[in-house]
Amino acid sequence: MRNLLAEILELQLEWDSANTPAMERRGVVVRKELPAELSRISGNLQHAMGPLISDLHFEGRDGTGRKTAIPWARFFSASRSPSAQNGWYCVYLFRSDGSGVYLALAHGSTSFLNGMFVPRADGQLADLLTWARTTLGDALLRDPRVQSKIDLGEGPGKLAKPYEKSTVAGIWYPADNLPDEAQLTADAVMFAGLLGQLYGAQDQRRMPGEIAPEIIEAVEAVDEIAKPLMGRSRAGQGRGLSGPERQAVERRAMELAKSILEREGFTVEDHSATASYDFLASKNGCKTVVEVKGTTGGLGAIMLTANEVTLHQSGTINNALFVVHSIDLDRHGPQPIASGGTVHRLQPWRLNPDQLKPMAFEYALLAE
């Protein structure tokens, strides 16, 4: 790998937007030889990322048509980062002046909104980086070479600043002092471990602005039924929840809600299997209908059935809503285990029609 990095940096000194012989050679090294070399250590990288990451991929780009001043090569989970514009990945970023290359942990600069990918605002990127650094914590401090910011210079083109704004951390390799093969491999493995931690947190839908898995699955189910030729929704980046995982999350949410109600002196009956609510809580002759929602994501949107909306909009019942968010999910054993969680409680719960968003409609065709 060391020789390939050195060759790309030498070719950077001959950068041209046209496909000159030097740029043609650079393209071969960036797009083919460097990803192939990284794939040789895929076993080490895979082990560092963890057993849940089974789709490790490698790719390099140096511009389509006109050659970019900052070529790159990355390794990533194909489902969690389908393109360099979306998701977390590890990437080698070459300075345009050929003075060195960064190994960086970065995020794509777009987000999924209203069915398409759109550029993220600077504030959104800043929130993502803050979340990532908080999630990784001390892991970013173990190696003094790891920097929280990178500097790709003021070279030609407009790519340097977006790359800098979307990078969590990086290690700088100067052209005149590149590490040996062993160190380069060790650094790649270290960054793969960091990437695996972010993927694990991402799979639990903990990132700022992340759509809860329940919402994504509902959208995909509706799309699959209404538009079977359309394929799965692009919103579903990352790993969704299986049936057993959803059940574990829901059970954990109900356990926490029930324990709180019982501590407050309520008698709690479980009606989740037969009614449009989960608990009937009784205290001093007063009955309260309780809805419970659990999610591995943060506090955000929740799924409600038509019957649940009708019931809680009636205004004729005492009601409450418990949303248990940020539930931890352990998938390593034969059965998923849910733990933790933060309770958000609304009692009484008054549904605001402005906060309801229809996801599908039934259209009745009348005989003429």
- Residue 234 pLDDT level (bands cut at 50, 70, 90): very low
pTM over 0.85: no
pLDDT of residue 153: 86
Q: What tens digit of pLDDT does each residue of 22-41 get?
A: 999 999 999 999 999 999 99
Nearest to 291 by CA among 276, 306, 301: 276
Backbone angles phi, psi at 330, to 5 degrees: -100, 115
Highest mean pLDDT (candidates 72-76, 227-231, 358-362):
72-76
Half-sphere exposure of 125 (CA within 13 A, CB side): 20
| Residue 265 near residue 286, CB atoms below 8 Å | no
pLDDT of residue 188: 97
Q: Which residue has the higher pLDDT, 118 or 133?
A: 133
Task: Give domain 2-203's CATH architecture.
Answer: 2-Layer Sandwich (3.30)
pLDDT of residue 212: 63
Stretch 262-279: mean pLDDT: 94
Residue 106 has pLDDT above 70, yes or no: yes
Q: Is 73 helix (H, G, I), strand (E, B) or coil?
A: strand
- Which of 29-38, 158-167, 269-278 has the lowest average pLDDT? 158-167
Q: Which residue has the higher pLDDT, 367 or 59?
A: 59
pLDDT of residue 329: 85
pLDDT of residue 235: 40
- Residue 239 pLDDT level (bands cut at 50, 70, 90): very low
pLDDT of residue 220: 64
CA distance 213 to 219: 10
pLDDT of residue 368: 64
User: What residue segments make up the domains of the chain, in order of their start?
Assistant: 2-203, 215-355
Copy the structure tokens of residue 71.
């070529």
Q: Is 299 helix (H, G, I), strand (E, B) or coil?
A: coil
Percent of residues, the chain, with pLDDT higher than 70: 86
Cis ω on the peptide bond leading into residue 228 (within 30° of 0)? no
What would the 3-class secondary structure string for 198-243 be? HHHHHHCCCCCCCCCHHHHHHHHHHHHHHCCCCCCCCCCCCCCCCH
Fold of 215-355: Trna Endonuclease; Chain: A, domain 1 (3.40.1350)
Nearest to 325 by CA among 348, 308, 301: 301
Residue 156 has pLDDT above 90, yes or no: no
Residue 118 has pLDDT above 70, yes or no: no
CA distance 212 to 308: 19
Which class for 280: exposed (0-12), middle (13-18), buried (19 or more C-beta within 10 A)? middle
| Dihedral sign (CA 259, 264, 265, 268) | negative
Output DSSP code: residue 180.
Answer: -
Angle 63-149-7 from CA coordinates, rounded to 5°: 40
Average per-residue pLDDT for the chain: 87
Residue 236 has pLDDT above 50, yes or no: no
- Mark out the alpha helices in 227-338 (DSSP H runs): 243-263, 306-313
- Which residue do the tokens 């790649």 mark? 188
* Fold: same for 2-203 and 215-355: no
Residue 232 has pLDDT above 80, yes or no: no
Stretch 150-176: mean pLDDT: 88
| Residue 128 near residue 109, CB atoms below 8 Å | no
Copy the structure tokens of residue 106.
């970065």
Highest mean pLDDT (candidates 105-119, 190-204, 276-290):
276-290
- Which of 19-33, 127-141, 221-235 has the lowest average pLDDT? 221-235
